[in-house]
Structure 1
């Protein structure tokens, strides 16, 4: 399909068939209908061709451009590529809807939108909250200017500021704060900028998003994991750091032992992957499938690494190096997850306090808990390839 109205309707129907339009927030479908994502998409999008990101220009390939926006409710549309890597996107429509539903947004709420991007998220929030109720912050001046123009063209009265949403927040306090980029730690400044009883929705660790409610005394915020999706990282955090080859180096492994687990679940089971992320937030895991089965490569971005190699017809091998034994840490996390009954991401929550933050299971006071990423930790995410 290349007709915009038809593509918009097709994606809306697809979400309806899957039950992706939230019942408690019927306003979202009306807002998306009134403010479709193509109104905020730049004339150039980017598509991964298997080797690199290539431009898809509306004036050259209109059908391809529309396809990038409306082909899949779960697919983001890349809007900016820097040094060969995506640095901004229009988030998947289903994810945008899910996160705004988690925000529990009502008319009249004062909203802070962090990570303006193309401006679509701020536009939908403004449709609900009303004129002069939404402030959106973008660190990239060019993106902010383009979003400002799109918001004005849509007739929306939204304040669009150029600032770092992690370290340079606007003044005042907000009823709702929503971020569209992933952070490893929830900045406590977000809690301080939200009114008691207010709501903060943000991606955490580029693997899912959480919704936190600020306590009545304003001294903490706590809430549940709301969904799974991958997000662009916070630009103010350090980059991904050394890759596996750099951490591994050419030194021999310190230890070797048999691998007795089938790693299929580590590649395919998002419940397990999330549990591993919670238990070892600084460990990056890459998996691959070949004729021998699923293998995995682990590293902590510093000095420790592990290779878990599958072998056809028998146990594989585990090689580890560095001061930590990452394969053992993964095995312990996996075993704990099984002993806990294989919880899903929706069974976890997070609490943020001035002196630290932690992830908990089932109950913030009595359930098991794990420290969230330390403040100095570089951005990490579980990946599979």
Structure 2
């Protein structure tokens, strides 16, 4: 059995073109992805969700299905590793890889630190552009280090891959003109700022929903920049485990106790399910809130928890209102509704209206202007209300 990889590559290229997903300002990316195709960096075993669990998909036994998974679409990541039943590594979606590397504004001769090698694809693409010996990549999983080294050698890419925790340690070769992270962090490790040259760019996935581009200031001590794109990424393995995004996580936090507060809320919950501008605003203002939605005959319902000890449930009543039940150490349902009202007051901004600033002491998200409304990124004390800071 064989798979038509060449045909699938051509179809992916065409779909990217039809969608306008090839970055206009970085035409080199299309050439690089043709020279270093995605399938050359995919392991022989991938994992596919069958509706109940992740099941293995092996190239040796079903090459066509394996190839379909590699080239499922511009927005489709391919799960390459499953740990305790959950994805722990993936081959990022082609459109997201292109968007992030375009945001990097990478030029020949730049020194690059690729944080989180994974399968080695983004490292290889960066090295194709930057030049021989100018890219160093770090990976915490030593098994992935060995695999990525073999893939780079097989494709003729000259880049260094080292085993290490990119969140807490810096590889040799700095200071770097560009830093490109492939896993999500909530707080930017300040080591990244110190490792970049003044004027350098840092592109990284922030939390659960998008990636950010920071430019390091001339003094080398601070960095600031805008949310640049959307996408979901694997979390930092060395950080706290992310709270479960499924209903089971909510049920665990809520437990069997009765609600401590109940009220009727005059809101149609439909936007919580469908409006990603609102979801992003909630993510900014209440960063630890996990929001799950579902529909029944009365409309959209929502379940919210913080992965720790606070929960809320919004149950649609069929008339554009909902009943709010909540309990725990804080009123996380009230926090979500406050963030929703703030978003409306600010004119329903999109994710691209937000930016982030990092200093040695603080990190915060701002809206439209670094000196405008802002929200702290660092975790606040349990029970402390998160609100826009009037600074």
- TM-score, normalising length from structure 2? 0.94
* Distance in 1, Cα, partners of 2:56 & 2:380: 37
Note the C-alpha offset of 1:246.
Answer: 2.3
Match for residue 219 of structure 1?
A: 221
Alignment of 1:186-265 (within 5 A): 186-241=188-243, 243-265=249-271
Deviations 1:226-252 (A, max 9, x none): 111110000001112572222212221
Match for residue 386 of structure 2?
A: none
* Distance in 2, Cα, partners of 1:265 & 1:121: 35
Match for residue 368 of structure 2?
A: 362
Match for residue 114 of structure 1?
A: 115
RMSD (CA atoms): 1.5
Q: Does the CA-based 8 Å contact 1:74-1:95 persist in structure 2? A: yes
Match for residue 285 of structure 1?
A: 291
* Distance in 2, Cα, partners of 1:222 & 1:62: 45
Which segment drifts farther, 12-21 or 282-291? 282-291
Unaligned stretches of 5+ residues in structure 1? 378-385
* Distance in 2, Cα, partners of 1:374 & 1:285: 18
Q: Does the CA-based 8 Å contact 2:268-2:320 persist in structure 1? A: no
Q: Does the CA-based 8 Å contact 1:185-1:375 persist in structure 2? A: no
Q: Does the CA-based 8 Å contact 1:225-1:345 persist in structure 2? A: yes
Aligned residues: 376
Alignment of 1:260-271 (within 5 A): 260-271=266-277
Deviations 1:273-312 (A, max 9, x none): 0000001111111111222211111112222110001123
Moved over 4 A (4+): none
Match for residue 385 of structure 2?
A: none
* Distance in 2, Cα, partners of 1:313 & 1:261: 9
* Distance in 1, Cα, partners of 2:288 & 2:296: 26
Q: Does the CA-based 8 Å contact 2:355-2:365 persist in structure 1? A: yes
Q: Does the CA-based 8 Å contact 1:116-1:122 persist in structure 2? A: yes
**Larger RCO: 1 or 2 (CA < 8 Å, sep 6+):** 1
* Distance in 2, Cα, partners of 1:281 & 1:82: 25
Q: Does the CA-based 8 Å contact 2:77-2:90 persist in structure 1? A: yes
Q: Does the CA-based 8 Å contact 1:112-1:135 persist in structure 2? A: yes
Deviations 1:165-187 (A, max 9, x none): 10122133111000000001011
Q: Does the CA-based 8 Å contact 2:293-2:301 persist in structure 1? A: yes
Unaligned stretches of 5+ residues in structure 2? 383-391
Q: Does the CA-based 8 Å contact 1:282-1:373 persist in structure 2? A: no
Note the C-alpha offset of 1:137.
Answer: 0.5
Deviations 1:87-121 (A, max 9, x none): 00000000000000000000010000011010000
Note the C-alpha offset of 1:4.
Answer: 0.8
- TM-score, normalising length from structure 1? 0.95
Alpha-carbon distance change, 265 to 241 in structure 1, aligned in 2, over 3 angstroms: closer
Note the C-alpha offset of 1:2.
Answer: 4.2
* Distance in 1, Cα, partners of 2:19 & 2:213: 23
